[in-house]
Amino acid sequence: MKKQNINTWLLHEEKRALKVYLLTFYITLVLYDFFYYYLYPKYIMHSAPGLNIPFGYWNYVVIFGLIPVAYYLVRMEKQQAIKYIYIFVYMILTAISDIIMYSAEYGVYRSGNAAELILILFSPIFINKCFYWIVTVVSILRYLVVGIVIHSLVVVIPVALIITFSVIAYILLNRFFSYIHALTSANEELRHKEKLAFIGQMATSIGHEIRNPLASLKGFTQLQKEKYIQDQKYFSIMEQEIERIDLIVNDLLVLGKPKSTQFQKSCVKDIISYVISITKQQATEKNISFSVEMDDSIPLIECVENQIKQVFINLIKNGLDSMNIGGMFKILLKHESKNEISISFIDQGCGIDQSELDKLFIPFYTTKDDGTGLGLIVTKKIIEDHQGELKIDSVLNKGTTVKVILPIVQ
């Protein structure tokens, strides 16, 4: 979905929430006062009804006078400010009214309208924690200020009531956030799977067709390299680029393959020893040493050995590429639980910024000049096919830890 469409949708939802918020507020405000100052005195207390409050109907003039202001702000696309205006205007107006009401002219202090509880209880519909806290704090401060001015503890009950409703509103707000997070995660996962499915279809349809002419190009380039000795550097570049294309095709073909069910029991220690021997030359060239720590009892695991080798090689090469000359590359093998082992690959490289971590599994996204952007995707797919889990933790300029968790029995 385009950013512009998302912003339009968010503005539309803000307007809808605002309409519900204000409509509920006004209905509650009018009905409560009508019952409390007219029906209750006349039919229950058998006394003269009337709006016996400071400012009288001017309170309604001010509150209802905010409607054209709100309409103007909506037209100006500034509807986000409307809810804050209502909160502050209503709380200031009612605080002043409460202080005056406590004077001898109006008798015993009576405070509040159910409408302010509506302002608190309905605040989660904006899915905005900042607004929720402003409503809660301003509502409590309003009564605290009144209590200090009139030197009375009568405000304790409304404060307790506000806190109770605030707790309910906070629970609702957290549920909304949890629901949105679940939907967002599901949507992102679906988009990721759609991308992988597209790449897989592309690999299935054209992967082999690319590889056939690529083999011919590689062979003819080698012949030309032997024939034209003086142009060796150009042919070396051509060979490197052909190898790069071949690497991309290999990764695409892995993504396009169906999940393998040829699981066999394999020794993880032997697999680690093998991949270290494969990557040792690259480590030696950069003066990097390996440190391997293993639990004493590591059982055999059910896996596709060649695929697990590919995973480990990818992760080790990524770690080595991130390190400058010199350093230690650690591999930790642990028996985590009854049916799980973990393999951690810890480098002392440049690390990854937190903002980049979420992009690591986007197809063709890479931070390396010669990267394909498919290595980690292939790695993750293989691990998921093995019912495993991949975790990445990184600190910028300190290093990265990649933890692979695999079940012992599939």
Averaged pLDDT, 174-186: 87
- Burial level of 203, CB count in 10 A (0-12/13-18/19+)? buried
Q: Name the strands in the sheet holding 399-407, side by side, starting at the edge strand that comes first in the sequence.
A: 288-294, 327-337, 340-346, 399-407, 389-395
**What average pLDDT score do residues 185-200 get?**
75
- In percent, how much of the chain has pLDDT > 70? 86
Q: 122 or 247: which carries more pLDDT confidence?
A: 122
Beta carbons of 343 and 319 less than 8 angstroms apart = no
- Residue 171 has a pLDDT of 94
How far apart are the C-alpha atoms of 220 and 255, rounded to whole Å? 29
| Contacts of the segment 257-261: beta carbons below 8 A, 24+ positions apart | 259/385, 260/304, 260/307, 260/385
| pLDDT of the residue at 279 | 87
pLDDT tens digits, one per residue of 374-396: 778 888 888 988 889 999 898 88
User: CA distances (Å), 349 to each of 92, 295, 317, 370, in order?
Assistant: 57, 25, 12, 17
What DSSP letter does each residue of 198-234 carry, written as one string?
HHHHHIIIIIHHHHHHHHHHHHHHHHHHHH-GGGHHH
Q: What is the pLDDT of residue 2?
A: 44
pLDDT reported for residue 112: 66
Q: What is the pLDDT of residue 3?
A: 46
- Cα dist from 145 to 86, 91, 155, whole Å: 19, 11, 10
Q: What is the pLDDT of residues 265-298, one digit of tens each?
A: 999 999 999 889 888 888 888 898 999 898 888 8
Query: Half-sphere exposure (CA, 13 Å, Cβ side) for 395?
Result: 5
> Residue range 167-173: average pLDDT?
93
Identify the H or E element spanning 344: strand 340-346
Phi first, then psi, for residue 153 (nearest 5°) are -95, 10
CA distance 188 to 364: 17
Residue 256's pLDDT band (boundaries 50, 70, 90)?
low
- For residue 313, is pLDDT > 80? yes
Q: Is 100 helix (H, G, I), strand (E, B) or coil?
A: helix
pLDDT score at 111: 64
User: Shortest CA distance to 334 belongs to which of 344, 321, 324, 326?
Assistant: 344
Give the span between the Cα atoms of 276 and 86, in whole angstroms.
66
Give whole-number Cα distances, 79 to 19, 68, 83, in Å.
10, 12, 8
Instruction: Report which DSSP code applies to 108.
Output: S
Q: What is the chain's mean pLDDT, rounded? A: 82
- Across-strand partners of 303? 264
Q: Which is nearest to 332 in space by CA: 401, 410, 282?
A: 401
Pairing of strands 288-294, 340-346: unpaired
Give the other-Cβ count within 10 Å of 110's Cβ: 13
Q: For 29-47, how does the pLDDT look when each residue is reduced to its tens digit (9 = 90+)?
A: 888 888 887 887 878 877 7
Instruction: Evaluate if residue 108 carries a pLDDT over 60.
Output: no
pLDDT value, residue 258: 56
**What are the beta bridge partners of residue 392?**
402
Q: Please name the residues in contact with 250: beta carbons below 8 A apart, sequence gap of 6 or more.
A: none
